């Protein structure tokens, strides 16, 4: 099966602004888009630049705008994309080169919500036990792989990149609702700012974009409610 890849490319050393480049690639219908990108890079144009690590939908490196929606290149099959496939970098972060964006601000937001267990109580002789129900409470948000699909699909984030973004809120949710954690108050403090959860307009793009099927908008709403019940 022959497909045409239309890739938005940008070389900061040569290009003033991004340009489109077309590539004809011979693929199997069950190949992933990542395989097609590899084919271009390995056999047609070695300068094509994109991120990927595990290539199996776990590391979250190869999120890009595929046919206009955020997807992991390693998780979509070419047969589901049509004969003419457009590939662009994620929206909202500065493009470093081709499909690679500068995610420094993404991880700054991630660090701001203190994404680690906070509990200063003495550990005791055993593990900190948790019932299955308590574990279930935040199960959905443990699935996040920090690919950036949700944050870079969010119109509120496009409008204002100071917005902490759905991904950081998902990470905060994972700890706020963990029965072993004691840091909820300080995380909610960060998220109660103007650029915290209140920039969310419940557009649901994040939920649509998540390659891990996390109900991102629901998680954000749960955090809003947690702030509400904490303050009132």
Partner 1 sequence: MTERVYAGRPRPGNNFELYSWFFMRISGLLLILLVIGHMVIMHIINNVDVIDYDFVAARWASIGWRAYDWLLLFLALLHGANGVRVVIDDYVRRKGWKVFTVAVLYTFTFILLILGSLVIITFEPIGMGS
Residues 6+ apart with CB under 8 A from 14: none
Cβ closest to partner 1, residue 65 vs residue 190: 190
> In which element (H, E) is residue 34 found?
helix 33-39
Q: How far is the CB of 167 from partner 1 (least distance, A)?
A: 13
> In which element (H, E) is residue 193 found?
none
DSSP 221: H
Q: How far is the CB of 108 from partner 1 (least distance, A)?
A: 4
φ, ψ (nearest 5 deg) of residue 102: -80, 110
Cβ closest to partner 1, residue 54 vs residue 159: 159
Q: How far is the CB of 202 from partner 1 (least distance, A)?
A: 10
Q: How far is the CB of 151 from partner 1 (least distance, A)?
A: 13
**SS3 label, residue 18:** coil
Cβ closest to partner 1, residue 67 vs residue 192: 192
Cβ closest to partner 1, residue 164 vs residue 167: 164
Cα torsion through 85, 89, 90, 92, rounded to 10: -130
73 near 57, Cβ under 8 Å? no
Binding site for partner 1 (CB under 8 A): 104-105, 108-109, 111-112, 156, 159-160, 162, 164, 190, 192-196, 198-199, 201, 224, 227-228, 231-232
């Amino acid at each position: 099966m022959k497909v045409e890849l239309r890739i938005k490319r940008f070389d900061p050393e040569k290009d003033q602004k991004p340009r489109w480049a077309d590539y004809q690639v011979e693929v199997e219908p069950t190949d992933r888009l990542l395989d097609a990108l590899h084919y271009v890079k390995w056999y047609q144009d070695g300068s094509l630049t994109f991120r990927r690590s595990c290539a199996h939908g776990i590391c979250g490196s190869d999120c890009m705008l595929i046919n206009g929606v955020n997807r992991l290149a390693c998780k979509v099959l070419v047969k589901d994309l049509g004969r003419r496939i457009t590939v662009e970098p994620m929206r909202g972060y500065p493009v470093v080169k081709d499909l690679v964006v500068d995610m420094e601000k993404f991880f700054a937001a991630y660090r701001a919500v203190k994404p680690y267990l906070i509990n200063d109580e003495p550990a005791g002789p055993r593990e900190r036990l948790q019932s299955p129900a308590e574990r279930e409470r935040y199960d959905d948000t443990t699935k996040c792989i920090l690919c950036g699909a949700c944050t870079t699909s969010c119109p509120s984030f496009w409008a204002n990149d100071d917005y902490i973004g759905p991904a950081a809120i998902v990470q905060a949710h994972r700890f706020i609702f963990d029965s072993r954690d004691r840091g909820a108050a300080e995380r909610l403090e960060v998220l109660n700012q103007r650029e915290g959860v209140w920039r969310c307009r419940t557009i649901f793009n994040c939920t649509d974009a998540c390659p891990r099927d996390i109900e991102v908008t629901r998680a954000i709403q749960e955090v809003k409610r947690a702030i509400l019940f904490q303050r009132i």
